[in-house]
């Protein structure tokens, strides 16, 4: 306890803002303090921890290895203090909070419209910052404290990461109706002979579809890779392209687009779509409330029939 008495605990809030923002001016804005005050606090923190904490790198600032090690336990300690002060007293209508959430535009399409409406109605002081990242990057960001929640497919998780299934999902194929037989299906050989669209942030990203094909000694030709779920269906009309995606991705597809959905002609296992967070957030009543809201806003709507 003697070490705690030697430091102003408000400095820990400033330290967290500096490590999160990696920028003195942005940290000052976040804390509603002046830039000189935050610069002075940074000098005190450097003296306390005997480390520069932030160093100049190009046009920005970077965390030192010591600062990177400090961030996770610092966030955990601040979360526990916050929970101690507000345990059992969380009121969403009075809460002022910002949640950083990573998700693809697939998850954004499914969850965000309902989530935002519910937040504006039930918790108008809670803000949400959405970013996009691969599943691997999300897990790293959760561990480092850069995000509060990740939405995605997490077949493997790192130590300290907690996952909760939001819903079960399955794959469907979709193509221009005029490019398909009258019955709206294709046998595997003809399905493989067609060019395919892959939705991914990177062209070398592993995916369940090609992994399932590889297990059978088969492969498909990817003629188009793009990172946008909605645009992936818009490029199909008038072409011979086939897109195979999670079924709820196609909720926005209307009958007048001339597209037909059908089951892929080989076995593709269903998968769990999940939310993930670091265990240090478990004691945070606001975070728990937000997770429950995400669960509620992720409930599937009745699905349309496919061939």
In the prediction, which pLDDT does 304 show? 46
Q: At residue 115, does pLDDT exceed 90?
A: yes
Name the token pair of 268.
């593709």
Residues whose CB is less than 8 angstroms from the CB of residue 151 and which lie 6 or more positions away in sequence, other chains included: 101, 102, 103, 104, 107, 111, 166, 273, 274, 275, 276, 294
194 neighbors 227 (Cβ within 8 angstroms): no
On the CB side of 171, how many CA atoms lie within 13 Å of its CA?
20
| Selection from 235, 253, 266, 269 nearest residue 304 by Cα | 253
| Closest of 251, 253, 249, 246 to residue 268, by C-alpha | 246
Q: Give yes or no for residue 58 having a pLDDT over 80.
A: no
Q: Which of 23-37, 53-67, 85-99, 182-196 has the lowest mean pLDDT?
A: 85-99
Reported confidence tier of residue 118, pLDDT bands at 50, 70, 90: very high
Q: Which two tokens stand for residue 122?
A: 């039930």
Residue 243 has pLDDT above 80, yes or no: yes
136-183: pLDDT as tens digits = 889 988 988 889 999 998 887 777 899 999 999 999 999 999 999 988
- Supply the pLDDT for residue 173: 96
Question: Mean of the per-residue pLDDT values for the chain?
Answer: 87
pLDDT average, residue stretch 90-118 = 91
Strand positions, DSSP E, the chain: 54-57, 60-63, 97-102, 126-131, 149-152, 161-169, 171-176, 195-199, 221-226, 242-246, 259-262, 271-278
29 vs 175: which has the higher pLDDT: 175
Helix (H, G, I), strand (E, B) or coil at 247: helix
pLDDT in the model for residue 3: 55
pTM of the model: 0.65
The answer to whether the beta carbons of residues 109 and 230 sit under 8 Å apart is yes
């Amino acid at each position: 306890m003697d070490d705690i008495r030697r430091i102003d605990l408000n400095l820990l809030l400033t330290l967290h803002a500096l490590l999160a923002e990696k920028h003195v001016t942005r940290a000052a804005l976040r804390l509603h303090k002046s830039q000189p005050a935050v610069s002075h606090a940074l000098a005190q923190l450097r003296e306390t921890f005997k480390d520069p904490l932030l160093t100049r790198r190009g046009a920005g600032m970077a965390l030192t290895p010591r600062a990177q090690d400090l961030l996770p336990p610092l966030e955990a300690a601040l979360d526990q203090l916050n929970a101690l002060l507000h345990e059992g007293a969380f009121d969403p209508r009075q809460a002022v909070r910002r949640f950083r959430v990573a998700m693809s535009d697939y998850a954004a399409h499914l969850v965000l419209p309902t989530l935002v409406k519910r937040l504006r109605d039930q918790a108008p002081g809670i803000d949400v910052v959405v970013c996009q990242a691969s599943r691997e990057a999300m897990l790293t960001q959760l561990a480092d404290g850069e995000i509060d929640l990740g939405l995605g497919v997490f077949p493997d998780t790192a130590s300290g990461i907690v996952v909760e299934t939001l819903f079960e999902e399955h794959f469907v194929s979709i193509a221009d109706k005029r490019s398909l037989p009258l019955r709206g299906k294709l046998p595997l050989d003809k399905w493989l002979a067609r060019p395919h669209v892959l939705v991914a942030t990177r062209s070398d990203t592993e995916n369940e579809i090609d992994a399932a094909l590889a297990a059978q000694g088969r492969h498909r030709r990817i003629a188009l890779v793009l990172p946008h779920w909605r645009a992936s269906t818009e490029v199909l009309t008038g072409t011979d392209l086939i897109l195979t995606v999670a079924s709820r991705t196609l909720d926005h597809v209307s009958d007048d687009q001339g597209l037909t959905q059908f089951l892929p002609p080989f076995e593709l296992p269903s998968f769990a779509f999940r939310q993930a967070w670091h265990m240090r957030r478990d004691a945070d009543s606001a975070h728990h409330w937000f997770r429950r809201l995400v669960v509620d806003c992720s409930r599937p709507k009745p699905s349309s029939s496919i061939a």
